[in-house]
Amino acid sequence: MNFPLTLTVSDRQSMDSELDAAVAAAKAHALSGKRHGILVIRHGVNQFTVDLSETVPFGVTRECQAW
């Protein structure tokens, strides 16, 4: 899986399940290098980006809003 992942969701239920799956994939990828944290950015009511970040400490998931 390539990062960043951009998600566009249609409802709350799909938002929860798609974000959970994307963060789980990012955690698995981060564990292999042990030098990236996970950054989840909300771009709007239905769009998110999940990425690995060297600015986020390993083992931490940080959430922020871009708007």
- Tens-place pLDDT, residues 38-51: 999 999 999 999 99
Quick one: tokens of 51? 């990425």
How far apart, in whole angstroms, are the C-alpha atoms of residue 33 and residue 7? 24
pTM tops 0.85, yes or no:
yes
DSSP string, 2-67: -SSEEEE-SSHHHHHHHHHHHHHHHHHHHHHHS--EEEEEE-SSSEEEEEEETTSPTT-EEEEE--
- Tens-place pLDDT, residues 3-55: 999 999 999 999 999 999 999 999 999 999 899 999 999 999 999 999 999 99
pLDDT at 13: 92
Q: Where are the domains of the chain?
A: 5-65
Q: Are 27 and 19 in contact (CB under 8 A)?
A: no
